[in-house]
Amino acid sequence: MKVYQIYFHESQIVELEPGYIPHFNRDCTVFFESEVIKDLVLLGEHKSTDYFGVVSYKLKHKLGYMKENWKNNKNIANTSVNEFTTEQFEAELMKYKPDAMSFQRHAPHDPVLVADGFHPFFRKYWTYIMNEIGYRWVPTRIENIFYCNYFVAKEKLYEKYVKEMLVPAMEVMKDMPELYGNCNYPRAFPENLKTQFGINSWPYHAFICERFFSYFSHIHNLDCKHY
């Protein structure tokens, strides 16, 4: 298993997991982790391993946060009862050897419709993007949900996902100025990114991209497990 863990500042190094590969995101874009995922796969960094993943430095913190702070939301709450360690996660992965495995666990739902309740126009933007890259999306209850890019997948499937869905979708999104609008994410938008991107609130790009793999796993009927 090969997992890259992204960080943005030296102070975040202490939060990285032992055994995961530190990756300093020197030039953050509006796509955040998805830009790094794209770059690593196009460079071939996913090859020569059984499973590949790219996660943020906040992995362990956010797994706990989504258990406690989101526990009253039946859809987005992390319902895993397992305490995360890199060793135990890999042991579970190798025990079952699925196509993909999430670092957390969520109840089945439609992540697009749920997102539409948090982020104005989410469904509209999603539908347009999917249509542009050749997918006729309709509201669908999805059994295997993946949030925050917190998953690993078999090397060839990860590549297929990036090249057939993520990269084409990102190209479409680059020509959608409306995605720079306020997506209503409640956390404060970093001051340095306000200057860098020329906006004052979180844009839509990263929030749309992180929901792609759930749909990809659904349409390809992948064998998925959840930690």
For the cut 90, the answer to whether the pLDDT of residue 72 exceeds it is no
Q: What percentage of the chain has pLDDT greater than the value 70?
A: 100
Q: Please give the radius of gyration of the chain, using alpha carbons only, rounded to the nearest integer.
A: 17
For the cut 80, the answer to whether the pLDDT of residue 131 exceeds it is yes
By the 10 Å C-beta count (0-12 exposed, 13-18 middle, 19+ buried), 177 is classed as exposed
Taking residues 76-105, report their average pLDDT.
96
Q: How many helices (H) and strands (E) does the chain have?
A: 10, 6
Tokens for 31, please give them: 């796509």
- CA 150 to CA 75: how far, in whole Å? 16
List beta partners, residue 23.
6
Phi, psi (5° rounding) for residue 54? -140, 120
Tokens for 194, please give them: 């306000």
pTM reported for the whole predicted model: 0.95
Annotated domain spans of the chain:
2-226
The confidence band for 42, taking pLDDT boundaries of 50, 70 and 90, is: very high
For the segment 91-121, what is each residue's pLDDT rounded down to a tens digit? 999 999 999 999 999 999 999 999 999 999 9
For the segment 161-214, what is each residue's pLDDT rounded down to a tens digit? 999 999 999 999 999 999 999 999 999 999 999 999 999 999 999 999 999 999
**pLDDT score for 121:** 98
CA atoms within 13 Å, Cβ hemisphere of 139: 8
